[in-house]
Structure 1
Amino acid sequence: MSEAVAGTEAPVTAGNRTLAAAGAILIYAVIIGFTDNFVRVIADQGGLWQFHATRSVMALALFAVAAPVLGLRLWPRNPRAVAARSLVHGTAMLFYFGSLAFLPVAVVAAGLFTAPIFVLLLSRFAYGERIGPFRIVAVALGFLGTLMVLDPGEGTLSPVLIAPVIGGFLYALGNLATRRWCAGESAETLVAGFFAMLGLYGALGMAVLALAAPEVPGGAAGFVLRGWVWPSASFMGWTFVQAAGSLLGIVMMVKGYQMAEASRAAVFEYTILPCAAFWSWFLWGEMLGGRALLGIGLIVAAGMLIALRRKG
């Protein structure tokens, strides 16, 4: 990966706008928390790879329409750096979603949310960035809160958990790449690259499944193994909601990472958990227990700590 972006790193000269970054990522969390609650509807009718391919086509079409109207710059200044970042982030999502075939969603999410820990370690040991004690405590609090919300239980002992943890590492690397490799790129350029990569992965996945022709369980259980199926109106409608919501949400997340160091901005991504929990309650009537509520409290405390202690 370092060879792919050799000589492309832009200097990080902008100051940290921590509170603005927190606000942008909070908007992202509210939007994604809503749209991701309807993946269960999509999974019951279609496949993961068709979903990625269809959503990417929709998102890129929306970009093509909006670009001339809003004056968006989609073509990257450094195509190699943007392609490398898109590859890393897209592959992280493959590890994450691929793990759902073998592990409960809570365990997979717990593995992916090791990302801020990896951001911290990579910032310190790969880039020599000073990491103060308060940010270390904030990340530890946020991670502990995540475990309490997800309550992974005995599944954490499964060797298969290495897959979502690898996804967490790649997700962290992609978040660092947002600021380190692609500091001169617009948010819309990075988001377009991300969707293009997921679209390529989706097309490749459907091609492989067409050749392999595996036995596919019915309903949501077949989400990962299901190839192309004739899409229903519901599948297309909710996939469009996903495309539009993800487009806006990820733009806000990218802007957040461009306004603050990745080790600071990553902590605020924990807010997606209480946002998703709220939408689950509002939409489906799913309630959180006391342990999960305490975990959300720790997540909020982590965000406040990182925002208020700007110098460490």
Structure 2
Amino acid sequence: MTRQGRDPDQPEAVPARDGQASDRGGGRLSAIALMCAAVFCFACLDACGKWATRHVDPVVTTWFRYAVSVVFLSVFLNGWTRPRIMHTNRLTLQVVRSLLLFGSTILNFFALQYLQLTQAISIQFAMPLLVALLAGPLLGEWVGPRRLVAIVIGFLGVLVITRPGSGSLHPAAFLTVVNTVFYALYALITRMLAAHDPPVTTMTYSGLAGVVLLTPILPFFWAQPPGPAVWAALLATGVLGAVGHGLLTVAHSRAPASVLSPFIYTQIVWMTALGYFVFGDLPDRYTAIGAAIVIGSGLYLLSRERTVRAKQPA
């Protein structure tokens, strides 16, 4: 929940000209399209990662995810095009953030060996609920009673999906829960760093943890990918990750998060489609019901946040 003085969706005090209003509306439409394209990239990334881990160890898949992304991004973000790109005012936070993203990524690939794409993403949709809950003690952004109830209901949706103790869902779902906690903490630290380091610096540090930590141990897990299709899937994880985050960055430069955030949930559509056409999976009724509860809670949180911000003085 970003702190902004005025809700960007409210009209300006001085009426804008028709051309200006049209440009702003067009900018938001393009931002929404970019957001939808970004989550499509992330859905394809998970599908490629799940398919690749059928043939190679998840450690290898994770290394490719980071190594290819770092090489791809270094073409645009490097010491020549961006002097002092590695300079940070909060090195400890950058390291912790990178480690959290690395932990989230590798846990996701391990979990996807056993879970359907829709099961994994439905649990991960609880991330905004965790962010809202943890923003109080970490950032001083406390939620009100209505939003607290929405968070509790959202977590009940996660319980519907996982059904702990029933034995109906693979224990790898616990890895996805931990992955979601890591990613929520990563998102909060990203917001903390925004006041100290430029986005390009933070983005550069994001990819280093996976390469630095996994490269020394990669030979112990390495197995020759069996065929060009597996090579293509491994390379695609890195490219899709880099392109997805790039689209996300451009989208947020054109429209506020309050406008874009609801479209994150379109990822469930792509995950369901890819799960069916690539792996022959369809979500069961518990996953569908739980996902609806989690998504509904997340959308309510976004709606309440916009209402609260709209009442704040400029």
TM-score, length of structure 2 as denominator length: 0.67
What does residue 276 of structure 1 align with?
Answer: 271
Cα 1:136–1:98 change in 2 (3 A) is: same
> Residue 247 in 1 paired to residue 242 in 2?
yes
Q: How many residues align?
A: 277
Report matched runs for 1:204-219 at 5 Å.
Answer: 204-206=216-218, 210=220
Alpha-carbon distance, 1:78 to partner: 3.1
> Residue 311 in 1 paired to residue 313 in 2?
no
Partner of residue 233 from structure 2, selected from 223, 229, 238:
238
Alpha-carbon distance, 1:90 to partner: 1.5
Cα 1:104–1:236 change in 2 (3 A) is: closer
Instruction: List per-residue Cα deviations over 1:110-159 (Å, max 9, x = no partner).
Output: 77555444323321123221313443344345444455456666249999
The one-letter amino acid paired with 1:126 is: L
Distance in structure 2 (CA, Å) of the matches to 1:290 and 1:162: 20
Cα 1:278–1:46 change in 2 (3 A) is: same
The one-letter amino acid paired with 1:237 is: A
Cα 1:99–1:300 change in 2 (3 A) is: closer
* Structure of larger gyration radius: 2
Distance in structure 2 (CA, Å) of the matches to 1:46 and 1:137: 43
Distance in structure 2 (CA, Å) of the matches to 1:293 and 1:159: 19
> Residue 91 in 1 paired to residue 103 in 2?
yes
Alpha-carbon distance, 1:165 to partner: 4.1
5+ long unaligned stretches in structure 1: 1-11, 211-226
What does residue 213 of structure 1 align with?
Answer: none
Q: The residue matched to 2:215 in structure 1 has which SS?
A: helix
Q: The residue matched to 2:141 in structure 1 has which SS?
A: coil
Alpha-carbon distance, 1:86 to partner: 0.8
Partner of residue 137 from structure 2, selected from 122, 125, 146:
125
Partner of residue 171 from structure 1, selected from 157, 180, 183:
183
Distance in structure 2 (CA, Å) of the matches to 1:27 and 1:135: 29
Distance in structure 2 (CA, Å) of the matches to 1:149 and 1:189: 37
Alpha-carbon distance, 1:166 to partner: 3.9
Partner of residue 65 from structure 2, selected from 52, 55, 62:
55
5+ long unaligned stretches in structure 2: 10-27, 309-314
What does residue 229 of structure 1 align with?
Answer: 223
The one-letter amino acid paired with 1:286 is: D
Alpha-carbon distance, 1:266 to partner: 8.1
Distance in structure 1 (CA, Å) of the matches to 2:158 and 2:266: 10
